[in-house]
Amino acid sequence: VPALSLQKVGRSYDQAGFSLDILRGADFQLWGGQSVALIAPSGAGKSTLLHVAGLLEKPDAGEVYVGGFATVDMADDERTALRRNEIGFVYQFHHLLPEFSAIENIMLPQMIAGYSKREAGERAAQLLEYLGLAARGKHRPAELSGGEQQRVAIARAVANGPGVLLADEPTGNLDPKTANHVFEALDAIVRATGLATLIATHNMELASRMDRRVTLQDGLVVELD
């Protein structure tokens, strides 16, 4: 089964009394080990698609399957548990907790998911090592460079071993060289874990190195090239 599957997904917002149809029956499938770039102009619905795919927002129509499980009619706590176990998120800004060290930031989602402090610490240390950040574990986010912060955010997002990683402009705030470094870190983790990734990006150079490229057109997901 696909790691993530959207079937005929609809999502509208009310804006000043008007219904704005952002997704209009969108179909999309993402397989394990695949990286897909989502390229579309601002306002097209990229964040909406990522939020619906990531079980943060419910669609108004259609179904979202994560790891083969239909999620729309699930109980809220079941859906939250599935999200915590199966979905990782990375944003344009790292959203690391400022009072905690890099390693603690990576440990937290694992401890929320029920792993022991020792297991969480070992996994976090491995991820830091893997991302070339072994010497940075004790630093707080403010003491890290922008690229290091994003790599810690990636480590946090994958710490629970999700099947799907969703990223919204993860390199949007970085210079090209740092963006490339962060992308390579992400790519290495995808290759090593068989994670499925959907990355909204305006960086065409990085998009060209991913497995597939899609856009949003009239509320549908459309394959490019």
* Residues engaged in binding ligand ADP (CB under 6 A): 13, 15, 20, 22, 40, 42-48, 56, 80, 84, 89, 95
Q: In the complex, what is the shortest distance from the CB of residue 171 to ligand ADP, in angstroms, rounded to a whole number? A: 15
162 within 8 A of 82, measured Cβ to Cβ: no
Q: In the complex, what is the shortest distance from the CB of residue 97 to ligand ADP, in angstroms, rounded to a whole number? A: 11
Q: In the complex, what is the shortest distance from the CB of residue 159 to ligand ADP, in angstroms, rounded to a whole number? A: 10
Q: In the complex, what is the shortest distance from the CB of residue 87 to ligand ADP, in angstroms, rounded to a whole number? A: 7
Q: In the complex, what is the shortest distance from the CB of residue 206 to ligand ADP, in angstroms, rounded to a whole number? A: 17
H helix or E strand, kind and range, residue 217: strand 212-217
In this structure, the strands spanning 35-38 and 164-168 are unpaired
SS3 content of the chain, % helix, strand, coil (to 5): 40, 25, 35
| CB proximity list for 21: less than 8 A, separation 6 or greater | 10, 11, 12, 219
Residues 127 and 158: their CA atoms lie apart, in Å, by 9
Question: What residue type is 45 in one-letter code?
Answer: G
155 within 8 A of 134, measured Cβ to Cβ: no
Q: With respect to ligand ADP, which residue has the nearer C-beta, 44 or 185? A: 44
